Amino acid sequence: MKTLKLLPKYEHWYPSNKKKDVWYPSVTFICGFLPKGQFFERWMANQGSAEEVKEVLREAGERGTRVHDASEALDRGKTITYNDPHFGLTDEEYQLLAHGYCGWHAKYKPEIKHIELRLVSDKHKLGGKLDRIYKIGDKTVLFDLKTSKTAIYDSHWIQVSAYADMYEYLHKEKIDEVAILRLTERRKEGFEYIVRDRTEWQKDLTQFKNTYKTMLYLNNNKMIVPKILEVPNEIKL
C-alpha cells in the first residue's frame, strides 16, 4: 500500500536537493524567533484573548495569501476582474491592488526577472520562496510584498536579507537592493515603499544569522526537524 508523508500544517519545510530525507526550515520560520517589537506587543496586550489574537493573525495570513496570489497573476500578465471567484478578494483587497500595487508599478516600472522563486540551500540549511527579483533602473532588486495593516517589522528586513544571501549563492548574481512594498489604505498613494542598499541588507543578514543561532540555542543546539506523519494513501474497514 502506498503511503503519504504529511508535514505539519501551517509550517513550511523544504527538502534538500541533494540529501535524502533531510528537511530545512523556512526563512519565515526562523524569523519567528525574532521579537516583533514593543508596538506589536502592545497590540497583543490590547486584544481580548489569545483566541482573538489567533483569529486576527489567521485572517491577516489569509488576506496576505489572496493579495499575493492576485499580485502574482498581475505580474504574469493576467487581468483580474472585480469579484473574480478564483481570488476571492474583498473590496478592500481589490482596492489595494488597483490603487496601491498598480500605482507602484506605474511609478517604478520594474522589469521582472523572477516571480515566486523557490530557494533551497544545503550550505545555509535553509529554504524559502522570494516574491520577486526586479530590475529597476540599473539595480537588481529583491522585492517583498506585505499587507500588514500596521507597519513593516524588523523581522521583514531580516527575511529579505536571508533571501538575498541565498539568491546570490545559488544564482551567482549580485543583489544591489532589497525592497519592501506594503500595501495600505492609510497612505495617499496606497502603498509604503522602502528600499535598503547592499550595505544595509548585509547588516540585516547578520541579525538573521544571530536569530538562526537563537533558534538552535532554544533547541539545545540541535536542528529543529518537522514532525512528519506517514499515513496510508487510502483507508478502509
For residues 20-41, give the mean pLDDT: 82
For residues 11-29, give the mean pLDDT: 91
pLDDT at 10 over 70: no
pLDDT of residue 57: 66
Distance CA 48, CA 54 (A): 11
Average pLDDT, the chain: 91
Q: Where do the domains of the chain lie?
A: 3-232
Distance CA 217, CA 197 (A): 30
Q: Domain spanning 3-232 has what CATH number? A: 3.40.1350.10
pLDDT digits 0-9 by tens, 223-236: 888 888 889 989 99
Nearest C-alpha neighbor of 191 from the set 112, 129, 106, 114: 106
Distance CA 110, CA 104 (A): 9
Q: Which of 12-21, 74-83, 135-144 has the lowest mean pLDDT?
A: 12-21
Rounded to two decimals, what is the model's pTM?
0.89
pLDDT at 49 over 80: no
pLDDT digits 0-9 by tens, 93-116: 999 999 999 999 999 999 999 999
pLDDT of residue 8: 78
